[in-house]
Amino acid sequence: MIWQIMKKQGLMLLRNPVQLLLLVGLPIILIAILGTALGGTMNGQSSPIDVKVAFVEHGDEQEQIDRFMNDIESDLPPEAVEGIREGTGGLKPVSTLREDVFGSDNVSDMVDVHDANPSELETLKNDDSYTAVIEVPETFTYNMLEYMVLDKPEQPELKVSQNETQKIGVSVVNGILKQYQEQFTLGTFLSKNGIDPGVLELNEDAATGKVTTVNQKNPVTAKGYYAIGMVVMNVLFLASTIGSIAFHEKKTHVFDRIILGNVSRWVYFTGILLSGMIFGFFHLLIVYGFAWVVFGIAWPNLMAFLTVSFVYAMAIGGITVLLTAISYRINSEIITSFFSGILVTLMAFLGGSFFPIGNSSELLRTIGNLTPNGAGMSAYIGVLRGDGIPEIWIHLLFLAIFALAAIILAVLSFPKRGVSG
């Protein structure tokens, strides 16, 4: 008889193609949309920041270097001049900033640098396409050499005009300039104190032992993350759908006719429980199978994947029968509607289906893992990264306890024989 009840629930689902399409098709569509839209952020790729910087030099750097060397030759002995010449031979602060810092591979991908004439200065400042305009004063390099070599008290400064409408770009430029200043100041300190910069570098040849990469797990792509997030969320709707079908059977007196046929109410209860579990399990397999074929989301450990799916399906079965029992008890579908309309969205947010919210707070991660979909998602992500059952057992244990607690509450709530709302 249990099989007949399960078969009846399955036929009711098949006769509602719109509901079936939403249950299976919606997560697939969401995986494609969210995985593509947020792929760059999730995969650690740089965000599309358009930073445009203009360099305006009011003087010639090499000319200032030559003039400085000529000036000190008349004031210092030849030996000291030669030592300064060797120490400052490659010192070109402006060229270093423009070519080695802004022109480096990491920075040049997001910062577009333009050299401009002083006559264009006002035009550049009024051009909203530029994030910042960096002005190099006429004697900047000369004064910098005086500050470094002759210990002049005042350090020369660049003039930076910023476009406040491009806050992200401005923060990028400020970060680069701050880092450059710190490195340049460190170099000056080492030079003045006769310290070899090489002592600050790690001597890899002097290191002994074996170097081992700590985190060798598989990376989780955006499509992989959202495949898990959308599936664990949408399968919750299956629980409310079966609960709604079961309550409809009560309203149309199907349940009463089953009881009059001398069938125990616990047989019907068990049929609803197994319907939620088995249909939920196949729902997981179908959507994940489609994600594997279309998006290439493969599971390294198939046995761990099937175990997580089965345990999570148990939790879905528990939710299904609990919603059914409460609906029967209060003789209303309000609890099922509240679950599908509000609770599922809240649980999906806390569980990280929409975004890895747990990365921002340990408390939010803990709360998320105390929801069935959050625990299921954590377990699935662990399997996708290459973990086995021993690494994710805590999430499986929570799901099993949650399923058992939901079933017990459903047993306590399910109306006794002869009791009708």
Q: pLDDT of 77-92, one tens digit each?
A: 776 667 666 655 556 7
CA torsion angle 92 97 103 108 (round to 10): 180
Q: Coil, strand or helix: which one is 162?
A: strand
Query: Quick check: 259 and 417 in contact, CB under 8 A?
Result: yes
User: Does any domain span residue 419?
Assistant: no
Q: Are residues 17 and 99 in the same domain?
A: no
In a domain, 282, yes or no: yes
What pLDDT, on the 0 to 100 scale, is given for residue 17? 67
Would you say residue 211 lies in a domain?
Answer: no
Residue 59 falls within a domain, yes or no? Answer: yes
Whose tokens are 């004439």? That residue is 117
Domain-embedded: residue 200: no
Q: How many domains does the chain have?
A: 2
Residue 214 lies in a domain: no
Query: Do residues 350 and 407 both lie within one domain?
Result: yes
Is residue 375 within 8 A of residue 399, CB to CB? The reply is yes
Beta carbons within 8 Å of 291's beta carbon, 6+ residues apart: 28, 31, 223, 227, 231, 297
Q: Is residue 102 located within the same domain as residue 236?
A: no
Examine the domain organization and report whether 77 and 16 are in the same domain: no
Closest CA to 163 of 195, 131, 133, 136: 131
2: Cα within 13 Å, side-chain hemisphere: 11
| Rg for the chain, CA atoms, rounded | 34
In angstroms, the Cα distances linking 412 to 222, 322, 328, 384 are 42, 10, 12, 38
Q: Which residues of the chain have pLDDT under 50?
A: 41, 44-48, 197, 199-216, 418-421
pTM of the entire predicted model: 0.57
Same domain, 170 and 303: no
Give the residue numbers spanning the domain of 333.
Answer: 2-43+223-413
In the chain, DSSP finds a helix count (H) and a strand count (E) of 19, 4
pLDDT tens-digit profile of 268-314?
788 888 888 998 899 899 889 888 888 788 888 999 999 999 999 99
Task: Please name the residue that has the structure tokens 């099989």.
Answer: 3
In this structure, the answer to whether residues 135 and 15 fall within a common structural domain is: no
pLDDT of residue 263: 66
Same domain, 239 and 116: no
Q: Are residues 274 and 400 in the same domain?
A: yes
Q: Using an 8 Å Cβ cutoff, are 140 and 59 in contact?
A: yes
Domain annotation covers residue 6: yes
Q: For residues 184 and 305, state if they share a domain.
A: no
What's the confidence (pLDDT) of residue 45? 46
Is 349 inside a domain boundary? yes
Question: Residue 256: what pLDDT?
Answer: 61
Q: What is the CATH number of the domain that holds 82?
A: 3.40.1710
DSSP annotation string for 41-105: HHTTPPP---EEEEEEESS-HHHHHHHHHHHHHTTS-HHHHHHHHHHTTT--HHHIIIIIITTSH
Asked whether 377 and 352 are in contact (CB, 8 A), the reply is yes
Taking the CA atoms of 43, 45, 47 and 48 in sequence, report the sign of the dihedral they define: negative
194, 211, 235 - which closes a domain: 194
